[in-house]
Amino acid sequence: MTAEITTEKARIGAPSIAGFTEEGEGLVAAKVDHTHNHGVTVMSSRAERLTSFNVADFPLPTGREEEWRFSPVRGLANLLSDTATDLDPVPAAGYTVEAPEGYVRAPLAPGAAPRGTALVPADRAAVVASANTDEALHVVIPAEAEPAEPLRILVHGAAAGHRSNAHFVLEAGANSRSVVILEHTGAADHNGNLEVIVGEGAKLTVISVQLWEDDAKHLAQHDAQVGKDAVYKHIAVSLGGSIVRLNSNVRFSGEGAEAELLGLYFADAGQHLEHRSFVDHNMANCKSNVLYKGALQGKDAHTVWVGDVLIQKQALGTDSYEKNQNLVLTDGCRADSVPNLEIETGLIEGAGHASSTGRFDDEHLFYLMARGIPEDVARRLVVRGFLNEIIQKIKVPALEERLTDAVERELAASEN
Amino acid sequence: MSTLEIKDLHVSIETEQGTKEILKGVSLTIRTGETHAIMGPNGSGKSTLASTIAGHPRYNVTSGTITLDGEDVLAMSVDERARAGLFLAMQYPVEVPGVSMTNFLRTAKTAIDGEAPKLRTWTKDVKAAMEKLRIDADFTQRNVNEGFSGGEKKRVEILQLELFKPKFAVLDETDSGLDVDALKVVSEGVNRAHAEGNMGTLLITHYTRILRYIKPEFVHVFVDGQVVEEGGPELADRLEEEGYDRYAKGAGAATIAAADAAVQG
Ligand SMILES: Nc1ncnc2c1ncn2[C@@H]1O[C@H](COP(=O)(O)OP(=O)(O)OP(=O)(O)O)[C@@H](O)[C@H]1O
Ligand SMILES: [Mg+2]
> Is the CB of residue A230 less than 8 Å from the CB of residue A202?
yes
> Is the CB of residue A348 less than 8 Å from the CB of residue A20?
no
Cβ contact, residue pair A381, B107, below 8 Å: yes
Q: What is the mean pLDDT of chain A?
A: 89
Residue of A nearest to B55 (CA): A370
Cα–Cα dist B84/B168, whole Å: 10
Mutate to test the pocket of ligand 1, among B19, B42, B222, B244 (most ligand atoms within 8 A of CB): B42
Judged by DSSP in three states, A37 sits in coil
A112 contacts chain B (CB < 8 A)? no
* Average pLDDT over every residue of A143-155: 98
Amino acid of residue A30 = A
Report residue A43's pLDDT band, with 50, 70 and 90 as the boundaries: low
> Is the CB of residue A134 less than 8 Å from the CB of residue A168?
no
DSSP A152-220: EEEEEEEEEEEEEEEEEEEEE-TT-EEEEEEEEEEEEEEEEEEEEEEPTT-EEEEEEEE---TT-EEEE
Amino acid of residue A126 = A
* pLDDT value of position B247: 83
* pLDDT value of position A361: 81
From chain B, pick out residues whose CB is under 8 angstroms from the CB of A326.
Answer: none
B84 contacts chain A (CB < 8 A)? no
Instruction: Identify which has the larger pLDDT, A209 or A3.
Output: A209
Judged by DSSP in three states, B4 sits in strand
User: Which ligand 1 atom is the nearest neighbour of the CA of B225?
Assistant: 14
State the ipTM, two decimals: 0.92
Q: First CA to last CA across chain B, in angstroms?
A: 37
pLDDT surpasses 80 at A39: no
* Average pLDDT over every residue of A129-144: 98
Query: Which ligand sits nearest to residue B265's alpha carbon?
Result: 1
* Average pLDDT over every residue of A310-319: 97
Amino acid of residue B133 = L
> Is the CB of residue A382 less than 8 Å from the CB of residue A411?
no
- Which helix H or strand E contains B87, and what residues bound it? strand B86-89
B75 contacts chain A (CB < 8 A)? no
> Is the CB of residue A354 less than 8 Å from the CB of residue A326?
no
Give the dihedral of Cα atoms A381, A386, A389, A392; nearest 10 deg: -40
Mutate: best of A264, A368, A371, A386, partner B, most B CBs <10 A: A371
A289-312: buried (b, 16+ CB within 10 Å) or exposed (e) per residue? bbbbbbbbbbeebbbbbbbbbbbb
* pLDDT value of position A366: 96
pLDDT surpasses 80 at A70: yes
DSSP B34-85: -EEEEE--TTSSHHHHHHHHHT-TT-EEEEEEEEETTEEGGGS-HHHHHHHT
Nearest protein CA to atom 1 of ligand 1, as residue: B15
pLDDT surpasses 80 at A414: no
User: Which ligand 1 atom is the nearest neighbour of the CA of B16?
Assistant: 3
A388 contacts chain B (CB < 8 A)? yes
Cα–Cα dist B220/A279, whole Å: 63
Cα–Cα dist A196/A222, whole Å: 8
Per the omega criterion (within 30 degrees of 0), is the bond before A114 cis?
A: yes
Amino acid of residue B32 = T
Contacts of A181 (CB under 8 A, 6+ apart): A150, A151, A152, A153, A207, A209, A396, A399
State the burial class of residue B242 (Cβ atoms within 10 Å of its Cβ: 0-12, 13-18, 19+).
exposed
pLDDT in tens, A213-241: 999 999 999 999 999 999 999 999 999 99
Q: Residue A358 gets which letter from DSSP?
A: E
pLDDT surpasses 60 at A416: no
- Counted across chains A and B, CB pairs separated by less than 8 A come out at 76
C-alpha distances out from residue A14 to A11, A42, A151, A288, A349, Å? 6, 11, 42, 20, 17
Neighbouring C-beta atoms of residue B88, cutoff 10 Å: 29
Cα–Cα dist A28/A316, whole Å: 12
B96 contacts chain A (CB < 8 A)? yes
- Let me know how long chain A is: 416
Neighbouring C-beta atoms of residue B60, cutoff 10 Å: 14
Residue of B nearest to A381 (CA): B99
Amino acid of residue B225 = G
Nearest protein CA to atom 4 of ligand 1, as residue: B15
Give the dihedral of Cα atoms B158, B33, B201, B210; nearest 10 deg: 70
* pLDDT value of position B245: 83
Amino acid of residue A165 = N
- Which helix H or strand E contains B110, and what residues bound it? helix B101-113
pLDDT in tens, A85-121: 999 989 999 999 999 999 999 999 999 999 999 999 9
DSSP B132-163: HTT--GGGGGSBTTTT--HHHHHHHHHHHHHH
Residue B120: alpha-carbon gap to chain centroid: 30
Rg (CA), chain B: 18
Q: Residue A242 gets which letter from DSSP?
A: S
Q: Residue A312 gets which letter from DSSP?
A: -
* pLDDT value of position B249: 52
Nearest protein CA to atom 19 of ligand 1, as residue: B43
* pLDDT value of position A44: 73
* pLDDT value of position B14: 96
> Is the CB of residue A118 less than 8 Å from the CB of residue A251?
yes
B50 contacts chain A (CB < 8 A)? no
Q: Determine the distance separating the centroid of ligand 1 and the alpha carbon of B202, expressed in angstroms.
A: 18
Query: Hey, which bits of A227-383 come out as E strands?
Result: 231-238, 243-252, 258-267, 272-281, 287-296, 302-311, 319-328, 334-343, 350-359
Cα–Cα dist B162/B153, whole Å: 14
Residue among A372, A378, A389 whose CB faces B98 most closely = A389
Which residues of chain B, if any, have pLDDT below 50?
A: 251-265
Mutate: best of A326, A365, A366, A375, partner B, most B CBs <10 A: A366
Mutate: best of B99, B112, B146, B165, partner A, most A CBs <10 A: B99
Tell me the shortest Cα–Cα distance from B222 to chain A, in angstroms.
24
Per the omega criterion (within 30 degrees of 0), is the bond before A100 cis?
A: no
Cβ contact, residue pair A371, B164, below 8 Å: yes
Among A121, A141, A265, A259, residue whose Cα is nearest residue A195: A121
- Which helix H or strand E contains A369, and what residues bound it? helix A362-369
Instruction: Give the bridge partners for B61, in sequence order.
Output: B11
Nearest protein CA to atom 3 of ligand 1, as residue: B15
Amino acid of residue A2 = T
State chain A's maximal CA–CA distance in angstroms. 66
Query: Which ligand sits nearest to residue B49's alpha carbon?
Result: 1
pTM: 0.76
* Average pLDDT over every residue of A6-16: 30
3-state helix, strand, coil in chain A (%, to 5): 20, 40, 40
Among B35, B36, B162, residue whose Cα is nearest residue B89: B162
Strands A302-311 and B71-72: unpaired
* pLDDT value of position A212: 98
* pLDDT value of position A45: 87
Cα–Cα dist A353/A309, whole Å: 9
Cα–Cα dist A67/A61, whole Å: 9
